[in-house]
Amino acid sequence: MTKSYKKKRAVGNAVAHVLLVIISIIWLFPFVGLILQSFRSYDSKVEYGGMVDYLIPKHFSLDNYRFLFNGQTNYLKWYTNTIIIAFCVAALQTIIVLCVSYALSRMRFTGRTFLMRFWLILGMFPGFLTMICLYFLLKQFGLTQAGAVPGLILVGVASSGMGYYVCKGYFDTIPKALDEAARIDGATRARVFLTMTLPMSKPIIIYTALVAFMAPWCDYVFASYIAFGHDESYNVAVAMTRWVWTNDYQGYFTRFCAGGILVAIPVTVLFMCLQKYYVEGVTGGAVKG
């Protein structure tokens, strides 16, 4: 009895491991492919830089990486644009979300439920319905094309108050009795918020900042619309997407791979380091809805 049970279990485990290996191969394949192909030269004397029917390059070359930094394109500029946008959005959005969440979680004021319902309904409109209007508004202040970077920061931050759910859910779990005790001792609301609630909220602050930081790296819609036609204001997503959609003319594909890798590495490393907080935030948000 125990022997057959053990045997069954061993078989079960073996099957599980085989499945996991297969899953891992499928999940890793695009990334491995991306890395390998980024080392295939686009120089027609060496190899072809477009679409080919083999994975491993015939000659190892760093041509693509050299191309990114030799000044033929604005790659460095796109990269700095994205970094600037990501850092500013992360910082400002986190501050706004924290403020809104604290107010909604801790304070009871007239219009509180109205505000929450109103924002919920507002969130059901598709985001880029507002695109032409925002473009016009930003243009009035010179924040399109050449000024697209601050413009995109503004767009990324302005409406972020509506994304308070996860953070408010976290604040709701901090006992109110702590606040009350501090207030009886004479601390103002502002002091309670700054010196008590915030230090206790490290995980949610990191989660909010991390999610806000990651978003601008993928922002294609607004970035391409607001920076339209002005190469120097593009972010990496817009610029790289253009390379892929040139329909392979001149073999920009491998250059896209190299550029994509350089974008992915820092973001991935950062994410992996802070993964713990991400999981906490996502799970908390999922359960509370």
Partner 1 sequence: MGNSVNEIFSTIGKAVKKGDFKTRLSILILGFGQLLRGQILKGVAFLVLEAAFIWYLIGFGGKYFGKLNTLGTVATQKVGRKTVYGDNSFLILLFGILTLFVILFFILLWYINIKDNVKSQEMLAAGKKLPTNKEVFASLFDKHFDKTLLALPVTGIFVFTVLPIVFMICVAFTNYDKNHQAPTNLFTWVGFENFKRLLSFGQSGIGRTFIQVLAWTLIWAFFATFIDYFLGLGVAILINKKGVKFKKLWRTILVLTIAVPQFVSLLYIMKLFANDGLLNGYMMKWGWIDSPIQFWVNPLLARITIIVVNIWIGIPYMMLIATGLLMNIPEDLYESARIDGATGWQMFKKITLPYMLFVTGPFLLTQFTANLNNFNVIYLLTQGKPLSVNLKENAGSTDLLVTWLYKMTVTDTNYSLAAVIGIMVFIVTAVVSLVVYNTLPSVKDEEGFQ
Query: Measured from the CB atom, is 150 or 161 closer to partner 1?
Result: 161
- 188 near partner 1 (CB under 8 A): yes
For residues 67-126, which are near partner 1 according to CB under 8 A? 96, 99-100, 102-103, 107, 109, 115, 119, 121-122, 124-126
Query: Shortest gap between Cβ of 143 and partner 1 (angstroms)?
Result: 12
Query: Shortest gap between Cβ of 277 and partner 1 (angstroms)?
Result: 12
Helices of type H across 72-147: 75-106, 112-122, 131-140
Stretch near partner 1 under the rule CB under 8 A, chosen from 59-67, 128-136, 141-149, 166-174: 128-136
Binds partner 1 (CB under 8 A): choice among 44, 70, 195, 268 = 268
Query: Measured from the CB atom, is 23 or 146 closer to partner 1?
Result: 23
- 18 near partner 1 (CB under 8 A): no
User: How far lies 98's CA from each of 102, 202, 215, in Å?
Assistant: 6, 11, 18
- 17 near partner 1 (CB under 8 A): yes
Give the Cα separation of 42 and 180 in Å (integer). Answer: 66
Give the Cα separation of 36 and 29 in Å (integer). Answer: 10
Binds partner 1 (CB under 8 A): choice among 22, 31, 60, 113 = 31
Query: Shortest gap between Cβ of 182 and partner 1 (angstroms)?
Result: 12
Stretch near partner 1 under the rule CB under 8 A, chosen from 59-67, 141-149, 172-180, 184-192: 184-192
Question: Pick from 254, 283, 184: which is nearest to 42 by CA?
Answer: 254
- b/e string for 177-200 if b means 16 or more Cβ within 10 A? eebeebeeeebeeeebbeebbeee
Question: Pick from 277, 162, 164: which is nearest to 214 by CA?
Answer: 277
Binds partner 1 (CB under 8 A): choice among 1, 5, 27, 72 = 27
Query: Residue for token digits 């976290």?
Result: 170
Give the Cα separation of 252 and 237 in Å (integer). Answer: 15
Query: Shortest gap between Cβ of 263 and partner 1 (angstroms)?
Result: 6
